[in-house]
Structure 1
Amino acid sequence: MNKIHLLLLLILVLIFSCKKGGHTIPRKTTGAINSISVIIDDQLWNGEVGDSIRNKFASPVIGLPQEEPLFTINQYPVKLMEGFMTDSRNIIVVKKGEKNNFEIKKDQYASPQNVFHISGKTGGDIITIIEKHNPEIIQKIRQTEIEECQRINKKALLDPKIITNKFHINLEVPTSYDYVLQKENFIWLKKEIVSGNTSLLIYQVPISAIEKGGNLVSNIIKIRDSIGGLYIHGKEPNTDLITEEAYAPYFFKIKMDGKKAYETKGTWELKNDFMSGPFINYAIIDEQHNRVLILEGFSYAPSKEKRDLMHELESIIKSVKIIK
């Protein structure tokens, strides 16, 4: 058997082994965090259908001081569907067809991947389908992007002992963060970036501090402002970190690690100073330990877009597991 025949045989064996039992080795998805590949012909993209897609999936992210799109959209004509676009984690395929249809295919071309197929008899039909299903599409994409960021973080994690011993939790914090301050019921970690930084706070308070009488949002804001007064200050006197009063924060009731939690998003500032930026605050009602576990992320990056910085902080916080 000559070398060419041997090489061909080895290739066939490799192909057979990959496909044996109907299984193939999936390609890995690529692309920046929070991006979508929209496969749609130019005629639809440049009309009302394209406007609807942009309005839904590139709408401003809530809680940021400047407008930034929810997702970065990259549009490609349908004829370019074959190729590198199929390696994107999130793909929306839009086209006219003989019937109105919406379908989600998981890992169709690569993994992990969401492919959303939208077809309609008319442009108006397509817009109706987008209007109906956009919340589901956004939820699935956001979850996929959180998981992708968590996968990246896991490549190099801080030793969890300090956080675990102090708060009885597992939290996946990448090694790009350093400890700034540690107190009995408080930890501050910070990551330095070009022209700024991002911070992660972990602390706990009694359940009665939040779920007592009065407004939940007001109670959460009072607590975070008191934490800023105790531990987070500017370089000048009387420059504590506080919640910006000019804009009401966004507030949601959610579940985290199977427990009731409150999500608050807004803008922080340093009192009597010019520094400011966005924050996300998660207050988890942990009845087993008779406490509210609070995990907060905030960033200071005056010359940089902040969407992906806050997304990384959210991904870290949502990795939390309370030890029973």
Structure 2
Amino acid sequence: MKKFGTLLVASIVLALGSCNDSGPKKRFLPQSTGPVNSLLVVMDTELWKGPVGDKIRDEFAAQIIGLPQIEPLFNITQLPPKVFKGTTMYSRSILFVEKDSTILAHISPDAYSKPQKVAVITGPTEEIMIKNLDSLAPIAIKAFKEVELAEAQKRFNRSLSKDKALEEEFGITMNVPSLYKVGKREKNFVWMDIQIPKGTMNIIAYSMPWNSFENDSTFVQDIMKMRDSIGEKYIPGPYENTYMITEKAFAPYVFPAEIGGKKAAEVKGVWEIHGYPMAGPFLTYIINDREHNRKMILEGFTFAPSTEKRDYMFELEAILKTVNFEPKAPVE
């Protein structure tokens, strides 16, 4: 097994190196495969059962924030190195971990298929391997997520909506799958949705004045107030005097982001219906559109009770991240 592992490490290093070859020769690479948000972990089963495997699970199967139930970042499949061959090598996101005298912590694209990200961790002891995982995991997670987002976008780009509501109302375009339909359109508000098993996936868009959110100390509270006011005005619940608000029990998470080439805030949390027991996850981007003196708000939210929602929200994120501000915004 040790000899096989060493040979496999060498083959991976050679494959990664050939990806960076600047010469004119190009390798043919098959299309990568696998469900979105899946991760293939190639490592010895005994390592997988021990502290190194625990570290991998802690990092790559960590709970996703902003969902109402526990769901992992990636669905992990573990394979021992001896069966890492054939079509398994075409997996889109791969983490290779091997106990070896060589110390590596490296990520490279398109080693065996395209598009693909392969992260390699090796070390002579479990302690060194865990240390390398600790330093590489955030970078690897970002790389895996990027290739998974690209795959999700590739899949829905095959059939896009021709509706012009976003362009006519806000001067923006977005790659929205054709099955999404505009259900409500008013001045400065567009709502698109799609029926899914047991519920709906939704996209809303509106703008706020440029000077909104000027006080950093009340930023999160101001986001909640904005969402609640929009929900009360545009997103009714099933009965009179019921409408969407931000869940009060837990404040949403806020992160810096860049969307459509512009700085933005990414907001993740849970919505609920005021006066009625309904809830679900939301993802909001508050985008600084200085050229048009506004904050452009794009949001995706899902209603799917008793159902896992990670992949629904991932698709919404992939859609929102295709926003393009190149078209001119409408004149007020």
TM, length-normalised to structure 2? 0.89
Q: In the TM superposition, what is the alpha-carbon distance from 1:252 to its structure 2 partner?
A: 1.1
Q: How does 1:65-76 map to 2 (within 5 A)?
A: 65-76=68-79
In the alignment, is residue 181 of structure 1 matched against residue 184 of structure 2? yes
Question: Conserved in 1, the CA contact under 8 Å of 2:165 and 2:190?
Answer: no
CA distance in 2, matches of 1:144, 1:120: 26
Aligned position for 2:123: 120
Bigger CA radius of gyration: 1
CA distance in 1, matches of 2:224, 2:216: 14
* Offset at residue 211 of structure 1 (A): 2.6
State the partner residue of 1:94.
97
| Cα deviation code 1:81-140 (max 9, x no counterpart) | 112211110001110111211122210110000011110001111111000111100111
Aligned counterparts, 1:12-51, within 5 A:
22-51=25-54
Summarize the alignment of residues 116-195 of structure 1 with structure 2, pairs less than 5 Å apart.
116-195=119-198
Equivalence for 1:225: 228
Answering whether residue 285 of structure 2 is matched by residue 294 of structure 1, we say no
Let me know the Cα RMSD of the aligned residues: 1.3
Query: Structure 1 residue runs of 4+, over 4 Å off?
Result: none
Compared CA separation, residues 99 and 213, structure 1 to 2 (3 A): closer
Cross-structure match for 2:65: 62
- AA aligned opposite 1:238: N
* 1:178 partner amino acid: K
Partner residue of 1:83? 86
Percent of aligned positions that are identical: 41
> 1:223 Cα deviation (Å)?
1.2
Aligned-residue offset at 1:26: 1.7
2:140 alignment partner, SS class: helix
Question: Match for residue 320 of structure 2?
Answer: 317
Aligned length: 304
Tell me whether 71-80 or 233-242 shows the greater mean CA deviation. Answer: 233-242
| Aligned counterpart in structure 2 of residue 255 of structure 1, from 254, 258, 261 | 258
Cα offset for 1:23?
2.7
Q: Which runs of 5+ in 2 are unaligned?
A: 1-23
Q: Which runs of 5+ in 1 are unaligned?
A: 1-20
Residue 207 of structure 1 contacts residue 292 of structure 1 at CA under 8 Å; is this kept in 2?
yes
Distance 1:175 1:79 in 2: 43
CA distance in 2, matches of 1:96, 1:141: 23
Take 2:215 and 2:188, find their aligned partners in 1: how far apart are those partners? 20
- Give 2:295's aligned amino acid: V
Check conservation: 1:188, 1:200, Cα contact below 8 A: yes
- 2:243 maps to 240
SS in 2 for 1:190: strand
Over 3 Å counting, the alpha-carbon distance change for 1:41 and 1:260 in structure 2 is: same
